[in-house]
Structure 1
Amino acid sequence: MDVRHLQYFLETAKRRSFTKAAEALHVTQPTISKMIRTLEEELGVDLFDRSSRQIVLTDAGEAVLAQAQQIVRSVEQLSVQLGDVVSMRKGQIRIGLPPMIGAPFFPELIAAFHRLYPGIGIRLIEEGGRTVEQEVENGSLDLGVAVLPVDPLKFDQFSFVKEELRLVVHKEHRLANRKSVRLAELSREPFLMFQEDFTLYERIPQACIQAGFKPDIIYESSQWDFLSAMAGAGLGVALLPETICRRLDPAKVVDITLVSPSIQWHLAMIWRKDGYLSFAAREWLRFSREWLFKPEC
Structure 2
Amino acid sequence: MALPFDLRALRVFVTVADRAGFSAAARDLHVAQSAVSQTIANLERQLELTLLHRHERRISLTPEGGELYVHARELLERAESTHLAMRELHGLVKGEVRIGIPSMLGSYYFPPLLMGFKAQHPGIRLTVVEAGARRLQRMIAAGELDLGVVIDDEQSQPMERRHLTREEMVVCVPREHVFAERNSVSAEEFFQEPLVLFQDGYFHREFVDALSRQTGLTANVAFQSNLIPLTKAIVRQGFGITTFLRRVVDEPGLAAVSFDEPAWLDLSLAWAKDAYLSRAESAFVEYVIAHREVL
Shorter-chain TM-score range: 0.5 to 0.7
Between the aligned partners of 1:214 and 1:132, the Cα distance in structure 2 is 27
> Unaligned regions of 5+ residues in structure 2, if any?
1-82
Q: CA–CA distance in 2 between the matches of 1:109 and 1:281?
A: 14
SS at match of 2:277: coil
The yes-or-no answer on 1:243 pairing with 2:247 is yes
The offset of 1:207, in angstroms, is: 0.9
Say if 1:83 and 1:159 are closer, same or farther in 2 by CA, change over 3 A. Answer: closer
**In the alignment, which residue of structure 1 is the partner of 2:285?**
285
Q: Which piece of structure 1 moves more, 180-189 or 143-152?
A: 143-152
Offset from partner CA, 1:65-86 (integer Å, 9 cap, x none): xxxxxxxxxxxxx99x935974
Tell me the residue number matched to 2:210.
206
Instruction: Note the 1:86-101 alignment, pairs <5 A.
Output: 86=91, 88=93, 91-101=95-105
Instruction: Give, in angstroms, the shift of residue 123 of structure 1.
Output: 0.7
The 1-side partners of 2:266 and 2:135 are apart by 17
Given that 1:85 and 1:280 are in contact with CA atoms closer than 8 Å, whether structure 2 keeps it comes out as no
Is 1:195–2:196 an aligned residue pair? Answer: no
Say if 1:167 and 1:257, in contact at 8 Å, map to a contact too.
yes
TM-score w.r.t. structure 2 length?
Answer: 0.66
The 3-state SS of whatever aligns with 2:98 is: strand
Q: Which residue of 2 aligns with 1:255?
A: 256
| Structure 2 counterpart of 1:129 | 133
Is it true that 1:166 corresponds to 2:170 in the alignment?
Answer: yes
Equivalent residue, structure 1, for 2:158: 154
Q: SS where residue 226 of structure 1 aligns? A: helix
Residue 106 of structure 1: aligned partner: 110
**TM-score (ref. length: structure 1):** 0.65
1:271 is displaced (CA, Å) by: 0.5
Once the two structures are TM-superposed, the CA of residue 153 in structure 1 deviates from its matched residue by: 6.2
Identity of aligned residues (%): 25
d(CA) in 1 for partners of 2:217, 2:90: 54
Q: What is the SS of the residue equivalent to 1:196? A: coil
Cα distance in 2 for residues equivalent to 1:158 and 1:92: 20
Listed one character per residue, the Cα deviations across residues 180-214 of structure 1 (whole Å, up to 9, x for unaligned) are: 11111123211111121202322212213322411
Deviations 1:258-297 (A, max 9, x none): 11x332222111101111221211111111110113xx55
- 1:212-231 aligned at under 5 Å gives the runs 212-231=216-235
CA distance in 2, matches of 1:153, 1:186: 30
> What residue is the counterpart of 1:116 in the other structure?
120
Distance 1:85 1:255 in 2: 52
Instruction: Give the distance between the partners of 2:223 and 2:185, measured in 1 at CA.
Output: 22
Question: CA, structure 1 residues 153+175, in 2 after alignment: closer, same or farther (shift >3 Å)?
Answer: closer
> Counterparts of 1:195 and 1:265 in 2: how far apart (Å)?
19
Partner of 1:12: none
Give the 3 Å change call, closer, same or farther, for CA 85–230 of structure 1 in structure 2: farther
Does the 8 Å CA contact 1:137/1:154 hold for their aligned counterparts?
Answer: no
Q: Given that residues 144 and 270 in structure 1 are in contact (C-alpha distance below 8 angstroms), is that contact kept between their aligned partners in structure 2?
A: yes
Instruction: Give the greater-gyration-radius structure (CA).
Output: 1
Comparing 270-279 with 222-231, greater Cα deviation is found at 222-231
Q: 1:216 to 1:244 in 2, by over 3 A?
A: same
Q: 1:223 to 1:85 in 2, by over 3 A?
A: farther
**Where does structure 1 lack aligned partners over 5 or more consecutive residues?**
1-77
SS of the residue corresponding to residue 128 of structure 2 reads strand
Q: In 2, Cα distance between the equivalents of 1:131 and 1:153?
A: 11
CA contact (8 A) 1:184 1:208 kept: no
Match of 2:187 in 1: 183
Q: Is the 8 A contact 2:104 2:245 kept in 1?
A: no
Distance in 2 between residues matched to 1:85 and 1:283, nearest whole Å: 17
Given that residues 162 and 265 in structure 1 are in contact (C-alpha distance below 8 angstroms), is that contact kept between their aligned partners in structure 2?
yes
Cα distance in 2 for residues equivalent to 1:191 and 1:183: 12
The answer on whether the counterparts of 1:85 and 1:91 sit within 8 Å (CA) in structure 2 is no
Measure, in 2, the Cα distance between the counterparts of 1:153 and 1:211.
25
